[in-house]
Amino acid sequence: MAKIKYIEHNGNQHEIDVANGLSVMEGAVQNDVPGIDADCGGGMACATCHVYVKEDWFNKLPEKAEGEDDMLDQAYEPSSNSRLSCQIIVSDELNGLVVHLPEKQV
């Protein structure tokens, strides 16, 4: 279990307990956090669960999945600290993770 903080583009914060094994995307969708669309359902086939992770946490996350960067090219305003939240799997180590949501997904 890890406490994940989702910060919307307008500053609204949502602190959610997410069970291990779920993705950060699923943690948001299952708890009605707005701002993550996840159109393809977690197949890394779209780029609508895009989040920004500040450097301190970005470097602690498991490596990007193969092809994740290719998909991120197609996200709205990707940057060097962009991730697809469907590819970040929650574990105890991620307790306290903060992700920032983009202005929009599409």
Which of 40/65 has CB closer to other proteins?
40
Q: Among residues 96, 12, 84, 93, which one has the least CA distance to residue 52?
A: 84
Question: Do 53 and 80 touch, CB atoms closer than 8 A?
Answer: no
Q: Please, what is the minimum distance in Å from the beta carbon of residue 81 to other proteins?
A: 10
43, two tokens? 């197949």
Which of 34/62 has CB closer to other proteins?
34
Q: Please, what is the minimum distance in Å from the beta carbon of residue 75 to other proteins?
A: 8
Q: What value, to the nearest 5°, has the Cα angle with vertex 51 and ends 47 and 56? A: 140
Q: Please, what is the minimum distance in Å from the beta carbon of residue 43 to other proteins?
A: 6
Note the residues at the interface with other proteins (CB under 8 A). Answer: 39-41, 43, 45-48, 69-70, 73-74, 76-80, 106
Question: Would you call 5 helix, strand, or coil by DSSP?
Answer: strand
Which of 27/102 has CB closer to other proteins?
102
